[in-house]
Amino acid sequence: MDIRRLHAFAKIVDIGSITRASSILHIAQPALSQQIAALETHFGKPLLVRSKRGVVPTEAGRALYRHCQIILKQMDQAELEIRSSNESISGFVSVGLAPLSLGSLVATQLVKVIQEEHPGIVLHINENVGGVISEMIMAGRIDIALIYNPGGLPGVSFDPVQTEEMYFVTNEPVPGADSEISLADAVAGPLILPSRIHTIRQVIETALARSRLQAHVVAQTESISVLAGIMSEGLGATILPKSAALATLRRLNGGHRYRIRKPNMKVNMAICVSAQLPLSEPATLVRARLAELAQEIARDEV
């Protein structure tokens, strides 16, 4: 199997057009089409559906695309390891971080530590919701992630890092409240929350359903800067894990946090990796340092 055909196929699927892929890859369109035809002959099934609007993969094409991601990534890693076999450890390592988490605090420290200890390792950091990141890990497009543990997922494994309680965060003090507030009081006013696919939102929705409560959500965001900006205008409050609550308060001019009780809500941070694909040597090193930094930062938060 010619690895160049797999690379061309993956690029066509990414772009959705043989014509544009031809231009990017600097391969004549007829030659590119012949490469796809050769792949279809090899596998005995059509891989792309062509139309005036471009191309999309068939079911067989989607299966091949998933394997292409893994194969091409392994080839890139192999080339790096071979070129640097007599040198210090080097290579690309992709790290996924969940928004509204310890990730925003860990990212800078992780880059700093890796550059100090292993300057040959290049990090690619991707911030996205946990469901998207776990799918990318299963597809081999991300090596390691620090995300909220959504529970059992096939194809990935989770190593616990930290359990965080949920806090009500507001720009104005709550009359009569000391350091705690009930969920019923927390959802009495307008809220800015993450979208429903985020684990934080799912924990909140579960607690609301069990308590037979409803929240008045006026906006959704996974960005701490956007969240703090909306809150600073007095447009609503939010509910977040401790680390994200503290990160949000740092961006507000003032602000208050209250631990939510009745019911007590918690989320679990974990290191997520593929349960099937082995980590490269650079990725193994990054995984260890990511776990250490996340635990250190979690302990330091007050």
Contact between 294 and 162 (Cβ < 8 Å): yes
Which residues of the chain form CATH 3.40.190.10?
87-161+268-300
As its CATH architecture, domain 163-266 has 3-Layer(aba) Sandwich (3.40)
Q: Which CATH superfamily is domain 87-161+268-300 in?
A: Periplasmic binding protein-like II (3.40.190.10)
Other CB atoms closer than 10 Å to residue 79's CB: what's the count?
11
Fold classification of 3-81 is Arc Repressor Mutant, subunit A (1.10.10)
Residue type, 32: L
Instruction: List every span in the chain annotated with CATH 3.40.190.290.
Output: 163-266
Q: What is the pLDDT along the chain (302 residues), one digit of tens a residue?
A: 678 888 889 999 998 988 888 888 888 888 888 889 989 999 999 999 988 788 999 999 999 999 888 888 888 877 776 766 555 778 889 999 988 888 878 888 999 999 998 888 999 998 887 678 888 888 888 999 998 887 777 788 899 888 889 999 999 888 888 889 999 999 999 999 999 988 899 999 999 999 999 999 999 999 888 999 999 999 999 999 988 898 899 888 789 999 998 888 999 889 999 888 888 889 999 999 999 988 887 776 54
pLDDT score for 1:
63
pLDDT of residue 233: 92
Q: In the chain, which segments carry CATH 1.10.10.10?
A: 3-81
